[in-house]
Amino acid sequence: MLKHQFALPPLSILIFLTSACLVAGVERPGVCPYMTGLSNVESEWLNYQGRWFMQLRSFEDGFRCQRTDYIIGTNSEHTVQTFEIRNRDDVIHVTTGTVTFGQDGQVQIQYSGRDPFIFKVLSVDYSKYLITYFCQNLPSRRYNEYVWIHTRERVLTQDVETAYTLAINAIGLSRSDLQCTSHVNCQGYLVPTVQNYTQRKC
């Protein structure tokens, strides 16, 4: 039986966001590369609103059934809410934060009691996919790279997969480093629950 815990877990999301306490991403030699973010994120925010499902990420964080809802507020006070189920005990985590914007496609999510979570929007098709990115320099000229891919639909279709794969290639990221997010056994996740759902390989 799934249990509810309304807390501030390591967050997966992106939308988009993922963790407010980041687990290790893909470690590489050198320093963080400069990634060009979309310049119109704030002005286009109305198009980002609604529900996004995490499909791929560059690390394993022990959660499944991850989704993010972006809610447009008044006076540019926007809200994000994430939902995810922890694999080891089936506890549901729901987390809410506020959204602000920086330059070069930067988005900041502020969760109560946490340091801000910051990422860049690299590519988006408002009806299909969203690609976000974060990089953290480490000692000895190494860095951790984080990539998240969200889609509008929980069930991944070939059309959407092709679209975000082309975008990944155009940006210069490696899809081989990305791991699938499971959307199986998501009771309490969608109403009505999809029966006999089998996740296609992503």
What pLDDT digit, counting tens, does each position of 2-45 carry? 443 333 333 333 333 433 445 556 788 999 999 999 989 888 88
Rounded average pLDDT over 177-202: 66
Instruction: Give a yes or no: residue 31 inside a domain.
Output: yes
Instruction: Write out the residue range of the structural domain in which residue 176 sits.
Output: 3-180
Distance from C-alpha of 30 to C-alpha of 142, rounded to nearest angstrom: 5
Quote the DSSP letter at residue 183.
-
Distance from C-alpha of 110 to C-alpha of 5, rounded to nearest angstrom: 19
Instruction: Give a yes or no: residue 199 inside a domain.
Output: no
Instruction: Give a yes or no: residue 192 inside a domain.
Output: no
pLDDT of residue 25: 63
pLDDT of residue 199: 57
Q: CATH no. for residue 131?
A: 2.40.128.20
- 110-165 pLDDT, tens per residue? 987 778 888 999 999 999 999 999 999 998 899 989 999 999 999 889 999 999 99
* Residues 6+ positions from 187 with CB-CB distance below 8 Å: 2, 193
Instruction: Give a yes or no: residue 165 inside a domain.
Output: yes
54 and 167 in contact (C-beta within 8 Å)? no
Instruction: Give a yes or no: residue 163 inside a domain.
Output: yes
Instruction: Give a yes or no: residue 53 inside a domain.
Output: yes
SS3 164: helix
Instruction: Give a yes or no: residue 193 inside a domain.
Output: no
Instruction: Give a yes or no: residue 84 inside a domain.
Output: yes
SS3 175: helix
Query: Which spans in the chain are helix H?
Result: 45-48, 158-171
Please report which helix (H) or strand (E) contains residue 31, including its range. Answer: none
pLDDT of residue 51: 93
Distance from C-alpha of 40 to C-alpha of 13, rounded to nearest angstrom: 20
The count of domains in the chain is: 1
